[in-house]
């Protein structure tokens, strides 16, 4: 058995199909001076054609899967518009008198060298996007084609490769109907039937991993040397929940994994059937299961998965996928579409949360030693006041079409909250002066991600209507550990006593003051995490739409007595290991079948 990095949950048992690196360098063709202009035109034609292909792919992915996944290909499209990238290739053709194929490979080598010196794992994985774009250009130049045998395969296979590019992942379809909730059936009827994906490179934050999860394909990465050990036709059993891979397993392992595969599919199918039921505990108490979304398509899918509303609309993806600054009208229409996609449901719109790993070209960049704890998110408002006024005006205008709340991220101090309230009031006054009708109230909330805000929550509650907890950032800031750094990521476990005691403090304060509090982030979709949080008084969760069915099933098995007992026990424990072990045992008592799902949740 081999242990890799689990990046997409699920079980697969199938034959292997090995894909070699598509970017095989050929001998360079040295051109005569008279041929250079024609070669540049050939390259420019490839850029135009690939750009059109990417536009069409992004539109299709947006309709069939979601805008977050479509943003991957919109970002690829932006690379083709980057004068630095295009200029590098043209310069190589002219200055070295080589063909476009060689120039593209040389450009890729330059980027690879540059990215190899970047310590941030998330940014290093963006090299896969550059390789993807260059692969598309090379394919158009007819220098190689995708593996024909895989295209013609009728039997679902487990793809084994050094790396899977986003465009390759998009051509894959799951062998079973286990899909992210809301992904239409027709989206998997055409394409290459894939049971699973195993790669040497790539992590959970890579774009291919995001697409694998969206398409419901189990995936494991980080298995260095696997392409030398596995051959096409070898029998593979894999577990994308734990990262386990068996090569040519014996009959006992094969039988066990086939049973797990059937159970996983059956449980996933049965959970989808609860989409029209309310999330109520055994005592009859209603729990709000909301969704994190990036677009109107996401919002519609979330409701079809059973979510009761939108707990977090991340507006930054509208900006990241846009080649220029979206103006007020564009933003207004985008926000209105999300609101109308969730009729009669609350939609919480978070203002722009840029910085760290999310950048746009029209904001001035400053090199920072630690960008995640630097000049980012709400801290940018003082430098770009009109930019944020435009966003607030667009949100307030769109609010007339539904139940809207405004959420400000990464709050640290009371001064920030008071300043933001004044900023929001200025936006309101400017709209009223322009003759806009603002009859609908728009509640004002803050995101608790910084420990300072969590500790002083009592002071902040005087100024706000509601609170959302960003568990991902709060965990890493509380533990002083970058969750994307493999050397310290183990400190970012949600079972930390410090984190649970901090959450208990925030929840208790909000409950005492009758202020709604919602938990966002990965913890919201993990059954073990919610057991103690329910006992602490948390009644609102916002998560990836894919986790709504399983969390609804858990809620229906909970009682207040059990929840409070679990919370009391956990708050007395002193280590993360002790808490994790206890919650794992307890969740299996309450819901025995939960172990079939991703227990890392």
What pLDDT, in 10s, does the model give residues 263-299? Answer: 777 777 767 777 788 999 999 999 999 998 878 877 8
For the chain, the straight-line distance linking the first and the last C-alpha, in angstroms and rounded, comes to 23
Where is pLDDT greater, at 390 or 369?
390
**pLDDT for 553-590, tens place per residue?**
999 999 999 999 999 999 999 999 999 999 999 999 99
Rg (CA), the chain: 25
User: Which position among 492, 510, 520, 529 bears the catalytic label?
Assistant: 520
In terms of C-beta density within 10 A (0-12 exposed, 13-18 middle, 19 or more buried), how is residue 171 classed? middle
Among candidate residues 309, 393, 323, the one with its CA nearest the CA of residue 351: 393
Answer whether residue 180 shows pLDDT above 50. no
Rounded CA separation 455/254 (Å): 51
For the question of residue 207 being annotated catalytic, the response is yes
From CA 352, how far away is CA 335, in angstroms rounded? Answer: 13
Query: Is 520 an active-site residue?
Result: yes
Q: pLDDT-derived band of residue 309, with 50, 70 and 90 as boundaries?
A: very high
Residue 148 has pLDDT above 60, yes or no: no
Alpha-carbon span 133 to 516, nearest angstrom:
45
Positive or negative, the CA dihedral 439, 440, 442, 443 is: positive
Confidence of residue 259 (pLDDT cuts 50, 70, 90): confident
The residues, any chain, with a CB within 8 Å of residue 168's CB and separated by 6 or more, are: 19, 146, 161, 208
Whether 64 shows a pLDDT value over 70: the answer reads no
Read off the tokens for 534: 């329910």
- With bands split at pLDDT 50, 70 and 90, how would you rate the model's confidence at 186? very low
How many helices, marked H, and strands, marked E, lie in the chain? 24, 17
Count Cβ neighbours within 10 Å for each residue of 542-580 and write b for 16 or more, e otherwise: bbbbbbbbbbbbbbbebeeebbeebbebbeebeebeebb
Burial (0-12, 13-18, 19+ Cβ within 10 Å), 360:
middle
Which of 363, 360, 439, 409 shows the shortest CA–CA distance to 521? 409
From the candidates 76, 105, 207, 322, give the one annotated as an active-site residue: 207
**Token digits of residue 128:** 């896969």
Query: 561, 537 in Cβ contact below 8 A?
Result: no
Check residue 121 and give its pLDDT.
61
From 252-256, 299-303, 531-535, the region with the lowest mean pLDDT: 299-303
Residues 349 and 335: beta-carbon distance below 8 Å:
yes
Name the helix (H) or strand (E) containing 349. Answer: strand 346-350
Domains (ranges, CATH) in the chain?
A: 2-21+146-249 (3.50.30.10), 33-140 (1.10.274.10), 282-596 (3.20.20.60)
Confidence of residue 87 (pLDDT cuts 50, 70, 90): confident
pTM: 0.66
């Amino acid at each position: 058995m081999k242990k890799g990095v689990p990046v997409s949950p699920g079980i697969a048992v199938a034959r292997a199909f090995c894909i070699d690196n598509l970017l095989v360098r050929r001998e360079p063709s040295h051109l005569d001076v008279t041929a250079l202009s024609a070669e540049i035109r050939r390259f420019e034609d490839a850029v135009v054609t690939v750009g059109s292909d990417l536009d069409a792919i992004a539109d299709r992915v947006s309709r069939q899967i979601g805008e977050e996944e479509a943003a991957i290909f919109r970002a690829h499209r932006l690379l083709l518009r980057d004068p630095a990238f295009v200029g590098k290739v043209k310069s190589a053709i002219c200055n070295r008198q080589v063909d476009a194929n060689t120039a593209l490979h040389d450009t890729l080598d330059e980027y690879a060298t540059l990215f190899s010196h970047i310590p941030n794992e998330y940014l290093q994985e963006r090299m896969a996007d550059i390789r993807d774009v260059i692969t598309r250009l090379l394919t158009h130049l007819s220098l190689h084609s995708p593996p024909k045998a895989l295209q013609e395969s009728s039997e679902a296979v487990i793809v084994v490769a050094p790396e899977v590019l986003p465009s390759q992942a998009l051509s894959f379809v799951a062998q079973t109907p286990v899909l992210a909730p809301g992904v239409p059936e027709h989206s998997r009827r055409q394409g290459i039937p894939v049971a699973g994906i195993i790669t040497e490179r790539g992590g959970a934050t890579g774009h291919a991993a995001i697409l694998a999860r969206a398409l419901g394909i189990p995936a494991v990465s980080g298995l260095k040397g696997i392409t030398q050990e596995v051959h096409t036709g070898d029998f593979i059993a894999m577990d994308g929940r734990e990262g386990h891979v068996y090569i040519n397993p014996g009959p006992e392992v094969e039988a066990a994994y086939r049973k797990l595969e059937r159970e996983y599919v059956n449980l996933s199918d049965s959970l989808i059937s609860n989409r029209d039921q309310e999330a109520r505990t055994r005592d009859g108490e209603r729990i709000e299961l909301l969704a994190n979304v990036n677009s109107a398509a996401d919002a519609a899918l979330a409701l079809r998965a059973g979510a009761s509303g939108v707990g977090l609309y991340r507006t930054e993806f509208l900006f990241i996928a846009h080649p220029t600054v979206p103006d007020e009208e564009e933003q207004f229409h985008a926000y209105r579409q999300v609101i109308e996609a969730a009729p009669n449901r609350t939609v919480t719109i978070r203002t722009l949360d840029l910085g760290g790993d999310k950048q746009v070209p029209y904001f001035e960049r400053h090199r920072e030693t630690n960008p995640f704890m630097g000049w980012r998110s709400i801290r940018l408002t003082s430098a770009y006041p009109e930019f944020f006024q435009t966003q607030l005006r667009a949100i307030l205008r769109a609010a007339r079409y539904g139940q809207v709340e405004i959420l400000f991220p990464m709050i640290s101090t009371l001064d920030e909250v008071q300043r933001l309230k004044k900023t929001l009031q200025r936006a309101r006054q400017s709209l009223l002066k322009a003759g806009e009708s603002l009859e609908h109230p728009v509640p004002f909330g803050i995101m608790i991600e910084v420990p300072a805000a969590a500790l002083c929550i009592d002071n902040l509650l005087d100024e706000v209507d509601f609170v959302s907890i960003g568990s991902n950032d709060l965990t890493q800031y509380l533990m002083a550990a970058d969750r994307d750094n493999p050397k310290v990521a183990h400190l970012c476990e949600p079972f930390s006593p410090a984190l649970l005691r901090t959450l208990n403090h925030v929840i208790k304060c909000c409950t005492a003051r009758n202020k709604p509090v919602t938990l966002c982030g990965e913890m919201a979709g993990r059954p073990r995490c919610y057991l103690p949080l329910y006992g602490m008084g948390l009644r609102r969760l916002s998560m990836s739409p894919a986790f709504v069915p399983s969390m609804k099933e858990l809620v229906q098995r909970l009682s207040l007595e059990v929840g409070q007992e679990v919370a009391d026990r956990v708050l007395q424990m002193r280590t993360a290991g002790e808490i994790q072990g206890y919650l794992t045992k307890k969740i299996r008592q309450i819901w025995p079948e939960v172990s079939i799902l991703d227990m890392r949740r």
